[in-house]
């Protein structure tokens, strides 16, 4: 495990407050496009952190499937481990790591289930077999072996052969409304740049203005 003793130099390319726009959502879009141009594998993948009813934090990788001024959209099974956690605690974190570019974006916010029509629209856009998978997998539930999982998928595939696949009522989208977005840029000697945007959300769900600042590495 040579990586445990490795000390990479992340270079001297700076990230200054003046390099970023006033709107962190637009800045994120720019970094995402640059990650795509750099051919980062799955640049829209992020680590979603949740907290369940027992206070246990859990994390997993999911894919960003929508982005606008309201927040970051992803979809999942509502009955999964993360869905169950979001039922009791909607506070989440999200980490996008574009490490070959020495970049990372850390997001904190509140996850809201989106309206049924928005979930329908996204579900319809998915490939047929991905739609079938939403019916065949009881996400996060135990199963005997891979053969049993494949049998479930094959049965669902046969059921929907040649037919449109409706969205299951236990599957749909969430939007993370961000309250904090940190742009991280690796620098030499571990003196990294960390620029943070923060805002408040009142009881009505209305967001305040973004405030930008720098924090120490």
Active-site positions read 190
What is the rounded end-to-end Cα distance, in angstroms, of the chain? 26
Q: Which residue has the tokens 């141009």?
A: 37
Nearest 5°: CA angle at 199, between 195 and 204? 160
Nearest 5°: CA angle at 98, between 94 and 100? 155
Q: Quick check: 55 and 22 in contact, CB under 8 A?
A: no
**What's the rounded Cα separation, in Å, for the pair 162 and 74?**
27
**What's the rounded Cα separation, in Å, for the pair 164 and 162?**
7
Q: Which residue has the tokens 């997998």?
A: 137
């Amino acid at each position: 495990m040579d990586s445990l003793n490795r000390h990479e130099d992340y270079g001297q390319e700076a990230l200054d407050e003046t390099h970023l726009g006033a709107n962190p959502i637009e800045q994120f879009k720019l970094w995402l496009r640059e990650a795509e141009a750099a051919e980062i594998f799955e640049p829209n993948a992020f680590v979603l952190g949740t907290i369940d009813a027992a206070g246990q934090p859990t994390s997993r990788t999911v894919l960003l499937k929508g982005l606008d001024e309201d927040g970051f959209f992803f979809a999942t099974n509502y009955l999964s481990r993360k869905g169950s956690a979001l039922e009791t605690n909607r506070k989440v974190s999200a980490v996008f790591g574009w490490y070959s570019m020495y970049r990372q974006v850390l997001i904190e916010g509140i996850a809201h289930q989106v309206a049924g029509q928005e979930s329908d629209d996204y579900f319809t856009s998915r490939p047929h077999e991905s739609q079938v998978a939403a019916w065949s997998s009881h996400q996060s539930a135990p199963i005997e072996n891979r053969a049993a999982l494949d049998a479930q998928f094959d049965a669902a595939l046969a059921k929907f052969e040649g037919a449109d696949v409706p969205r299951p009522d236990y599957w749909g989208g969430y939007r993370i409304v961000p309250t904090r977005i940190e742009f991280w840029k690796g620098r030499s000697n571990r003196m990294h740049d960390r620029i943070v945007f923060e805002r408040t959300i009142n009881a009505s769900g209305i967001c305040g203005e973004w405030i930008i600042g720098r924090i120490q590495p």
